[in-house]
Amino acid sequence: MNYELQIISYLCTEFVEDMRLRHSLLSILGLLLPLMASAQKVNPSATYIDDDNNTVDTTEDFTAQAPLDVTFRANPEDIGDHTVAFEWHIRKNDTAKDLVVRYEEETQYRFVESGTFSVILKARYTDTDVELDSAVIKVTISESRLEMPNAFSPNGDKINDIYGAKGVNDPNSSSHWRSIVEFHGYIFNRWGQKLFEWTDVSKGWDGTFNGSPVKQGVYYVLVRAKGADGREYNIRKDVNLLRGYTKETGTSETE
Ligand SMILES: [Ca+2]
Protein backbone atom coordinates (compact mmCIF):
# COMPACT_ATOMS: atom_id res chain seq x y z
CA MET A 1 0.00 0.00 0.00
CA ASN A 2 1.43 3.33 -0.96
CA TYR A 3 1.19 6.36 1.24
CA GLU A 4 -1.81 7.89 -0.52
CA LEU A 5 -3.80 4.71 -0.21
CA GLN A 6 -2.93 4.53 3.46
CA ILE A 7 -4.28 8.04 3.94
CA ILE A 8 -7.50 7.25 2.05
CA SER A 9 -7.95 4.06 4.06
CA TYR A 10 -7.39 5.99 7.30
CA LEU A 11 -9.89 8.66 6.30
CA CYS A 12 -12.46 6.01 5.39
CA THR A 13 -12.02 4.37 8.79
CA GLU A 14 -12.41 7.73 10.48
CA PHE A 15 -15.51 8.38 8.44
CA VAL A 16 -17.00 5.03 9.40
CA GLU A 17 -16.09 5.57 13.05
CA ASP A 18 -17.64 9.01 12.86
CA MET A 19 -20.82 7.54 11.39
CA ARG A 20 -20.89 4.93 14.14
CA LEU A 21 -20.52 7.61 16.74
CA ARG A 22 -23.27 9.67 15.16
CA HIS A 23 -25.44 6.60 15.01
CA SER A 24 -24.77 5.90 18.67
CA LEU A 25 -25.54 9.48 19.61
CA LEU A 26 -28.77 9.38 17.64
CA SER A 27 -29.68 6.10 19.31
CA ILE A 28 -29.09 7.64 22.73
CA LEU A 29 -31.08 10.71 21.75
CA GLY A 30 -33.80 8.43 20.46
CA LEU A 31 -33.97 6.84 23.88
CA LEU A 32 -33.86 10.13 25.74
CA LEU A 33 -36.39 12.05 23.65
CA PRO A 34 -39.44 10.09 24.80
CA LEU A 35 -38.35 10.67 28.41
CA MET A 36 -37.91 14.39 27.82
CA ALA A 37 -41.20 14.65 25.94
CA SER A 38 -42.98 12.79 28.70
CA ALA A 39 -42.21 15.63 31.10
CA GLN A 40 -45.64 17.08 30.14
CA LYS A 41 -47.75 14.02 30.52
CA VAL A 42 -50.16 14.61 33.35
CA ASN A 43 -53.34 16.49 32.65
CA PRO A 44 -55.35 16.48 35.88
CA SER A 45 -59.11 16.82 35.72
CA ALA A 46 -61.85 17.48 38.27
CA THR A 47 -65.34 15.97 38.26
CA TYR A 48 -68.12 17.47 40.39
CA ILE A 49 -71.85 18.28 40.43
CA ASP A 50 -72.60 21.93 39.66
CA ASP A 51 -75.45 24.17 40.91
CA ASP A 52 -77.74 22.96 38.12
CA ASN A 53 -77.16 19.33 39.13
CA ASN A 54 -75.06 18.63 36.04
CA THR A 55 -71.91 16.54 36.25
CA VAL A 56 -68.97 18.68 35.18
CA ASP A 57 -65.63 17.24 34.09
CA THR A 58 -63.00 19.94 33.69
CA THR A 59 -59.25 20.55 33.53
CA GLU A 60 -59.78 24.29 34.21
CA ASP A 61 -60.06 26.25 37.46
CA PHE A 62 -63.67 26.52 38.64
CA THR A 63 -66.04 28.02 41.23
CA ALA A 64 -68.73 26.02 43.00
CA GLN A 65 -70.53 25.90 46.33
CA ALA A 66 -69.93 23.76 49.39
CA PRO A 67 -70.31 21.07 50.41
CA LEU A 68 -68.58 19.97 47.23
CA ASP A 69 -67.34 16.47 46.50
CA VAL A 70 -64.73 16.42 43.75
CA THR A 71 -62.99 13.51 42.09
CA PHE A 72 -59.54 14.45 40.81
CA ARG A 73 -57.90 12.29 38.16
CA ALA A 74 -54.24 12.49 37.11
CA ASN A 75 -54.81 11.36 33.49
CA PRO A 76 -51.23 10.30 32.70
CA GLU A 77 -50.61 10.03 28.94
CA ASP A 78 -48.11 8.04 26.86
CA ILE A 79 -46.24 6.72 29.86
CA GLY A 80 -45.42 3.40 28.18
CA ASP A 81 -44.20 0.80 30.63
CA HIS A 82 -43.19 3.32 33.28
CA THR A 83 -44.57 3.13 36.79
CA VAL A 84 -45.82 6.53 37.93
CA ALA A 85 -45.99 7.79 41.50
CA PHE A 86 -48.64 10.47 42.07
CA GLU A 87 -48.75 13.08 44.81
CA TRP A 88 -51.74 15.38 45.33
CA HIS A 89 -51.39 18.39 47.61
CA ILE A 90 -54.53 20.35 48.51
CA ARG A 91 -53.81 23.77 50.00
CA LYS A 92 -55.95 26.75 50.93
CA ASN A 93 -55.27 30.22 49.48
CA ASP A 94 -51.78 29.37 48.24
CA THR A 95 -50.44 28.70 51.70
CA ALA A 96 -47.62 26.19 51.74
CA LYS A 97 -49.43 24.08 54.31
CA ASP A 98 -51.14 21.01 52.94
CA LEU A 99 -54.68 20.23 54.09
CA VAL A 100 -54.17 16.74 52.72
CA VAL A 101 -51.61 14.81 50.69
CA ARG A 102 -52.77 11.80 48.69
CA TYR A 103 -50.77 9.21 46.79
CA GLU A 104 -53.14 7.79 44.21
CA GLU A 105 -53.98 8.30 40.56
CA GLU A 106 -57.59 9.21 41.35
CA THR A 107 -58.57 10.88 44.59
CA GLN A 108 -61.71 12.33 46.19
CA TYR A 109 -61.95 15.41 48.35
CA ARG A 110 -64.86 17.19 50.04
CA PHE A 111 -64.66 21.00 50.23
CA VAL A 112 -66.66 22.42 53.14
CA GLU A 113 -65.04 25.84 53.58
CA SER A 114 -65.31 28.99 51.46
CA GLY A 115 -62.18 30.28 49.78
CA THR A 116 -59.77 29.39 47.00
CA PHE A 117 -57.91 26.09 47.09
CA SER A 118 -54.97 24.89 45.02
CA VAL A 119 -55.01 21.26 44.04
CA ILE A 120 -51.45 20.43 43.02
CA LEU A 121 -50.49 17.22 41.25
CA LYS A 122 -46.88 16.06 41.20
CA ALA A 123 -45.89 12.92 39.37
CA ARG A 124 -42.67 11.04 38.65
CA TYR A 125 -41.54 7.79 37.14
CA THR A 126 -40.51 5.49 39.96
CA ASP A 127 -38.29 3.38 37.66
CA THR A 128 -36.19 6.23 36.21
CA ASP A 129 -36.96 8.88 38.85
CA VAL A 130 -37.85 11.34 36.08
CA GLU A 131 -40.18 14.10 37.33
CA LEU A 132 -43.24 14.77 35.22
CA ASP A 133 -44.50 18.33 35.10
CA SER A 134 -46.67 19.29 38.04
CA ALA A 135 -50.06 20.84 37.41
CA VAL A 136 -52.57 22.88 39.45
CA ILE A 137 -56.35 23.21 39.43
CA LYS A 138 -57.78 26.07 41.50
CA VAL A 139 -61.12 25.48 43.17
CA THR A 140 -63.05 28.46 44.55
CA ILE A 141 -65.84 27.77 47.04
CA SER A 142 -68.39 30.59 47.11
CA GLU A 143 -69.57 32.52 50.19
CA SER A 144 -72.75 31.22 51.79
CA ARG A 145 -76.29 32.55 51.37
CA LEU A 146 -79.61 31.39 52.78
CA GLU A 147 -83.01 33.03 52.67
CA MET A 148 -86.39 31.63 53.61
CA PRO A 149 -89.56 32.88 51.88
CA ASN A 150 -92.73 34.18 53.61
CA ALA A 151 -95.24 32.13 51.69
CA PHE A 152 -95.93 29.15 49.49
CA SER A 153 -98.89 27.63 47.69
CA PRO A 154 -99.07 23.83 47.83
CA ASN A 155 -101.88 23.46 45.31
CA GLY A 156 -100.19 21.27 42.73
CA ASP A 157 -99.71 23.92 40.06
CA LYS A 158 -95.94 23.45 40.29
CA ILE A 159 -95.46 27.10 41.28
CA ASN A 160 -94.18 27.57 44.83
CA ASP A 161 -95.63 24.21 45.84
CA ILE A 162 -92.82 23.43 48.29
CA TYR A 163 -91.80 25.47 51.32
CA GLY A 164 -88.02 25.57 51.61
CA ALA A 165 -84.96 27.76 51.17
CA LYS A 166 -85.22 30.30 48.37
CA GLY A 167 -84.29 28.46 45.21
CA VAL A 168 -86.03 25.20 46.13
CA ASN A 169 -88.88 25.93 43.69
CA ASP A 170 -86.73 27.88 41.26
CA PRO A 171 -83.16 26.70 40.70
CA ASN A 172 -82.45 29.83 38.64
CA SER A 173 -83.45 32.22 41.43
CA SER A 174 -80.87 34.93 42.08
CA SER A 175 -81.43 34.40 45.82
CA HIS A 176 -80.72 30.65 45.57
CA TRP A 177 -78.90 29.28 48.64
CA ARG A 178 -75.13 28.87 48.37
CA SER A 179 -72.49 26.89 50.28
CA ILE A 180 -74.74 25.70 53.11
CA VAL A 181 -72.94 22.86 54.87
CA GLU A 182 -75.36 22.27 57.75
CA PHE A 183 -79.11 22.76 57.70
CA HIS A 184 -82.01 22.00 59.99
CA GLY A 185 -85.51 23.33 59.32
CA TYR A 186 -88.70 22.93 61.39
CA ILE A 187 -92.31 23.84 60.64
CA PHE A 188 -94.74 24.49 63.51
CA ASN A 189 -98.42 25.32 63.63
CA ARG A 190 -99.79 28.15 65.76
CA TRP A 191 -100.00 25.86 68.79
CA GLY A 192 -96.35 25.03 68.60
CA GLN A 193 -96.89 21.53 67.26
CA LYS A 194 -94.10 20.39 65.00
CA LEU A 195 -95.52 19.39 61.62
CA PHE A 196 -92.34 18.82 59.65
CA GLU A 197 -88.58 18.95 59.84
CA TRP A 198 -85.87 18.50 57.27
CA THR A 199 -82.07 18.52 57.07
CA ASP A 200 -81.46 18.63 53.33
CA VAL A 201 -81.43 22.26 52.18
CA SER A 202 -82.57 21.18 48.73
CA LYS A 203 -85.81 19.72 50.14
CA GLY A 204 -88.83 21.26 51.85
CA TRP A 205 -92.36 20.95 53.17
CA ASP A 206 -95.26 20.06 50.87
CA GLY A 207 -97.96 21.45 53.20
CA THR A 208 -99.16 18.10 54.53
CA PHE A 209 -99.20 16.55 57.99
CA ASN A 210 -99.59 12.78 58.41
CA GLY A 211 -100.35 12.58 54.72
CA SER A 212 -103.18 15.15 54.68
CA PRO A 213 -103.04 18.75 53.46
CA VAL A 214 -103.09 21.24 56.34
CA LYS A 215 -105.41 24.24 56.34
CA GLN A 216 -104.61 27.49 54.63
CA GLY A 217 -103.19 29.91 57.18
CA VAL A 218 -100.11 31.05 59.03
CA TYR A 219 -97.41 28.63 60.15
CA TYR A 220 -93.94 29.17 61.55
CA VAL A 221 -90.54 28.17 60.31
CA LEU A 222 -87.36 27.84 62.33
CA VAL A 223 -84.06 27.27 60.53
CA ARG A 224 -80.63 26.71 61.98
CA ALA A 225 -77.90 26.44 59.40
CA LYS A 226 -74.21 26.97 58.83
CA GLY A 227 -72.36 28.29 55.80
CA ALA A 228 -69.03 27.14 54.38
CA ASP A 229 -67.68 30.57 55.35
CA GLY A 230 -68.52 29.92 59.03
CA ARG A 231 -71.64 32.10 58.97
CA GLU A 232 -74.43 30.84 61.22
CA TYR A 233 -78.07 31.26 60.30
CA ASN A 234 -80.91 31.46 62.81
CA ILE A 235 -84.10 32.23 60.96
CA ARG A 236 -87.60 32.40 62.47
CA LYS A 237 -90.52 33.72 60.56
CA ASP A 238 -94.19 33.36 59.65
CA VAL A 239 -95.07 31.24 56.67
CA ASN A 240 -98.29 31.93 54.83
CA LEU A 241 -99.73 28.75 53.39
CA LEU A 242 -102.02 29.70 50.52
CA ARG A 243 -103.89 27.38 48.24
CA GLY A 244 -105.86 30.02 46.36
CA TYR A 245 -103.49 30.62 43.49
CA THR A 246 -104.08 28.41 40.48
CA LYS A 247 -103.03 28.62 36.87
CA GLU A 248 -106.68 28.25 35.79
CA THR A 249 -108.11 31.26 37.58
CA GLY A 250 -104.89 33.27 37.50
CA THR A 251 -105.83 34.88 40.79
CA SER A 252 -102.88 35.69 42.95
CA GLU A 253 -103.22 35.59 46.67
CA THR A 254 -99.56 34.67 47.11
CA GLU A 255 -97.50 37.14 45.17
CA1 LIG B 1 -98.52 26.55 43.89
Based on the structure, what is the number of domains in the chain? 2
pLDDT at 40 over 60: no
Beta-sheet pairing, 151-152 with 232-241: parallel
pLDDT interval class at 52 (50, 70, 90): confident
pLDDT for residue 207: 97
Same domain, 131 and 156: no
Lowest mean per-residue pLDDT among 5-19, 119-133, 233-247: 5-19
Q: Which residues pair with 176 in a beta bridge?
A: none
In a domain, 170, yes or no: yes
Dist. CA 198 → ligand 1 center (Å): 20
pLDDT for residue 80: 84
pLDDT at 24 over 70: no
In a domain, 83, yes or no: yes
Dist. CA 161 → ligand 1 center (Å): 4
pLDDT for residue 78: 82
Same domain, 115 and 162: no
Q: CATH no. for residue 191? A: 2.60.40
Same domain, 55 and 131: yes
Dist. CA 169 → ligand 1 center (Å): 10
In a domain, 185, yes or no: yes
More confident residue, 180 or 40: 180
Dist. CA 188 → ligand 1 center (Å): 20
Dist. CA 247 → ligand 1 center (Å): 9
Reference 151, options 54, 85, 243, 228; nearest CA is 243
Dist. CA 41 → ligand 1 center (Å): 54
Same domain, 110 and 183: no
In a domain, 33, yes or no: no
Q: Which of 89, 115, 141 is the last residue of a domain?
A: 141
pLDDT for residue 198: 98
Q: Which of 114, 141, 168 is the last residue of a domain?
A: 141
In a domain, 255, yes or no: no
Same domain, 95 and 163: no
- Domain residues for 184? 151-241
Same domain, 159 and 132: no
Instruction: Tell me the range of 34-48, 144-158, 240-254 where mean pLDDT is highest.
Output: 144-158
The rounded mean pLDDT for the chain is 86
121-152 confidence digits (pLDDT tens): 999 998 888 888 889 999 999 999 999 999 99
Rounded to a whole number of angstroms, the CA Rg of the chain reads: 32
Dist. CA 243 → ligand 1 center (Å): 7
Q: Which of 87, 117, 141 is the last residue of a domain?
A: 141
**Other residues' Cβ atoms within 10 Å of the Cβ of residue 176:** 17
In sequence order, which residues have a C-beta less than 8 Å from that of residue 179 and are 6 or more positions away? 65, 66, 114, 141, 142, 143, 144, 145, 227, 228, 229
- pTM of the predicted model as reported, rounded to 2 decimal places: 0.69
Please give the average per-residue pLDDT across 226-237, as a whole number: 96
123: alpha, beta or left? (left if phi > 0; alpha if psi -120 to 50): beta
Please give the average per-residue pLDDT across 91-111, as a whole number: 92
pLDDT at 43 over 60: yes
Please give the average per-residue pLDDT across 232-238, as a whole number: 98
In a domain, 228, yes or no: yes
Dist. CA 242 → ligand 1 center (Å): 8
Same domain, 157 and 221: yes
CA distance linking residue 204 with residue 172, whole number of Å: 17
Q: CATH no. for residue 108? A: 2.60.40.10
Which residues line ion ligand 1, judged by CB < 5 Å? 153, 155, 157, 159-161
Dist. CA 11 → ligand 1 center (Å): 98
Please give the average per-residue pLDDT across 183-212, as a whole number: 97
In a domain, 187, yes or no: yes
Same domain, 136 and 174: no
Dist. CA 255 → ligand 1 center (Å): 11
- What are the CA-CA distances from residue 186 to residues 118, 119, 165, 221 (Å)? 38, 38, 12, 6
In a domain, 199, yes or no: yes
pLDDT at 38 over 50: no
Element (H, E) at 141: strand 131-141
Same domain, 165 and 128: no
Dist. CA 127 → ligand 1 center (Å): 65
CA distance linking residue 161 with residue 243, whole number of Å: 9
